[in-house]
Amino acid sequence: MERAVIHLNIADFAVAVETNRSPSLRGRPLIIAPEGAPRAVVYDMSDKAYQEGIRKGMPLARARRLNRNIPVLSPGFNRYEQVMKDLLKETFAFTPLVEHGSFDGHLFLDVTSSGRLFGPSADVAFRLKKIFKSTFNLDPIWSVATSKLVAKVATRLVKPQGEYIVAPGDEEAFLAPLPLHLIPGLTTADLNRLREFNLFSVSEARNLTLEQLKISFLQKAPLIYDWIRGMDPSPVRTFSETASTLSADHEFSNDTNHAGILKKTLYLMIEQICKVLRDKNLHSGETKLILSYSDGLQSASTSKRSPSTSNDMVLFKKCALLLDKAWTRRVRIRHMRLICETLCPPMVQAELFAPETRETKQAALIRAMDRIRNRFGHAAIQAGLTLTGETTSS
Amino acid sequence: MEDPGACRLYIGTSGYSYGEWVDSGFYPDGTHSSNMLDCYIKAFHAVELNYTWYQMPKAPAMERMCEKVPEHFKFSAKLTRTLTHEVQKDLWQKEVLAFRQGMEPLVRAKKLLCILIQLPPYFERSVDFRNYLAALLDELSGLPLAVEFRHDSWVNDKVFSELERRRITLVNVDEPDLPGLFPRLCAVTNPDLFYIRFHGRNAKGWRSGSMQKQFDYDYADQELKEWAERVKTELMPEAAVGGIFFNNHVRGQAPKNALRLMDLLLKKGGGKTPWNAP
């Protein structure tokens, strides 16, 4: 049978989180952007600010020229992440198949198989909306459809408030009159190309055969052909609690592009994560570093660590390369996040007469440091790297 | 209206799109959600639309739905929750307009059995709620209406007289014997239409907060026989049309019980089909 996919979308998520902290801002135009940064761009804005012409990614200076009276708040990425985690907890009560964006208030749930337990999908969506509203004072738009694509179009259609149930079998008719820009996956370049052919709505684009689409869109043509017919077999990507991750964050009190401070902070974050890994007898496989610049832009770099490790120094060597890779701009950095994924137990079978290497010496040193810290506190002993440079605070 | 044979019955279920009805055998194995209505119309001639409670009905979707069913088929559509459960003082009249627009294709196609106004359990017979209900019925005038109360304070002759005066149907409900709930009655307030909703008698699950527990009930044959008798003797002689819907959807119990009631009514009718069979 067809899938039942729910899309929950908290419109202007960052604004909604911030106005919950400062209720006096509710109903007013509001911009979320890093203040004080010379080339800051708008990270998010309220609906009222949108009506004033403010858009995501717009330079803050330009937004201010449009209306100087709109208050500007700095983004709090940690807060957004925490709220997303809280929302996720509620959704797991209904299905383990939940996919979420990165702190953006978007959640997809596949409830195809949970109908026998929790009832019709529309009722599950409605109940989640009520839970989000009563528990977090967040009011999501919701939709129910047979695929992520159609569900997303449906929420786009009713934004900033409302709900939409697209009946199974009704997908093609539902999409037919809509403008093409509502179809997820179509880029600006795709839309411009379609406009060149005077194609503006889904029904117009459907007149093209797959072969005709291939002339302009090559390998992407089959995808576009399916999308405009409401066909999207992509699964709701399972969030597996067993494949857990560990992460550490640091928000610089003063934005910085000082290499020493960045490396020192990175090492402290690695120490924090590796201690947890060692306590849980786990190793980290994949590592990801995300830098958030003063202007609201982010850059990320990922590395697979093979073999996996929980050794501070080994991980730092790898992460220092990640920092070099991710740090591509001259703009100062506001926030740094390190994520360790693919956690797994360490290899227990050690060699009987293994020669002493640099890594085994480091491991012995770290074990000794752990013992000292366990007894006398974390500050009792520190790596030399963390003693240099200016003091930073979270 | 003395002759029960003159009354046309529309029997069906509350909603039709349930995956578990495939498991229960009501729908053939492998039936896709998009084909469930095609299968449903082979067994029943009417359905209650639940989804109009969750979202404001949209005319294009209603039109497409009308095209999928045979001419004699009827829909009973639940009034949207923003007019019953989440009423906003300044907005509700606009919502009525939107609802009317959404219903227009059903009205035009003569496929609307009635609008089902299902009121919440906390909707007591207070001055404010009475005034709101009166205003709501005024705004919806011209449409066939049926009102379902979930609070026993509405069991009052004045209420029934007012419904009679307005030719609005009181929904007879079969639900558990719990304090505060509207009791099991057999009343006709509108000679055009009588209406029964079978919610099941699961007293334990009624206030569980889970639909799967609340409406998990399989009517015993004796319970259905008693209802068949009452329908035949007390309701059918009093109205031109009857709507009977089963809401105990869990595990396919609703279609099973609905088909059994149809069977019992057929026997009571001496073999004469009491519903508008095609």
Domain identity same for A287 and A382: yes
Using an 8 Å CB-CB cutoff, list chain B residues near A125: 54
Q: A118 pLDDT exceeds 60?
A: yes
CB distance B116 to B146 below 8 Å: yes
- The reply to whether A359 falls in a domain is yes
In angstroms, the separation between the Cα of residue A94 and the nearest Cα of chain B is 12
Domain identity same for A189 and A266: no
- The reply to whether A113 falls in a domain is yes
Domain identity same for A210 and A253: no
A-side interface with B, Cβ within 8 Å?
A: 1-2, 4, 112, 115-120, 122-123, 125-126, 146, 162-165, 167-170, 173-174, 177
Q: Tens of pLDDT along A230-242? A: 999 988 877 554 4
Give pLDDT, residue B275: 45
Strand partners, A165: A144
| Cα–Cα separations (whole angstroms), residue A39 to A252, A323, A331 | 18, 22, 8
Domain identity same for A382 and A348: yes
CB atoms A122 and B60 under 8 Å: no
Using an 8 Å CB-CB cutoff, list chain B residues near A163: 54-55
Give pLDDT, residue A348: 59
How far apart are the C-alpha atoms of B172 and B199, rounded to whole Å?
11
Give pLDDT, residue A283: 83
pTM of whole model > 0.80?
no
Q: Which residue has the higher pLDDT, A277 or B275?
A: A277
Domain identity same for A263 and A205: no
Q: Tens of pLDDT along A126-178? A: 999 999 999 999 999 999 999 999 999 999 999 888 899 999 989 999 999 99
Q: Tens of pLDDT along B211-260? A: 888 999 999 999 999 999 999 999 999 999 999 999 999 999 999 999 99
- State which residue of chain B sits closest to A165, comparing Cα positions: B55
The full 3-state SS of A188-239, as one line of letters, equals HHHHHHHHHCCCCEHHHHCCCCHHHHHHHHHHHHHHHHHHCCCCCCCCCCCC
Domain identity same for A272 and A186: no
Domain identity same for A215 and A261: no
Number of domains within chain A: 2
Last residue of some domain: A175, A199, A227?
A227
Q: Tens of pLDDT along B91-117? A: 999 999 999 999 999 999 999 999 999
CB distance B44 to B70 below 8 Å: no
Last residue of some domain: A166, A192, A227?
A227
The structural domains of chain B, ordered by start, are: 4-268 (3.20.20.410)
Q: Which of B22, B55, B212 is facing A1, going by the closest CB pair?
A: B22
Q: Which of B18, B32, B34 is facing A120, going by the closest CB pair?
A: B18
CB atoms A112 and B19 under 8 Å: yes
Give pLDDT, residue A40: 80
Give pLDDT, residue A244: 67
- The reply to whether A267 falls in a domain is yes
CB atoms B55 and A117 under 8 Å: no
Domain identity same for A204 and A295: no
CATH of the domain at A358: 3.30.1490.100
What is the pLDDT confidence band of residue B269, given thresholds at 50, 70 and 90? low
- The reply to whether A98 falls in a domain is yes
CB atoms A146 and B20 under 8 Å: no
Give pLDDT, residue B53: 96
Domain identity same for A181 and A273: no
User: Mean pLDDT score of chain A, rounded to an integer?
Assistant: 87
Domain identity same for A179 and A314: no
CATH of the domain at A181: 3.30.70.270
How far apart are the C-alpha atoms of B119 and B125, rounded to whole Å?
11
User: Mean pLDDT score of chain B, rounded to an integer?
Assistant: 92
Q: Which of A1, A125, A169 is facing B19, going by the closest CB pair?
A: A1
What is the pLDDT confidence band of residue B3, given thresholds at 50, 70 and 90? low
Domain identity same for A265 and A215: no
| Domain that includes residue A177, residue range | 5-11+79-227
What is the pLDDT confidence band of residue A116, given thresholds at 50, 70 and 90? confident
Domain identity same for A112 and A178: yes
Q: What are the tokens at A158?
A: 């009713």
Q: How many alpha carbons lie under 13 Å from residue B206 in its C-beta half-sphere?
A: 16
Q: What are the tokens at B271?
A: 């073999």
> Helix, strand or coil for residue A251?
strand
Work out how many CB contacts closer than 8 A connect A with B.
69
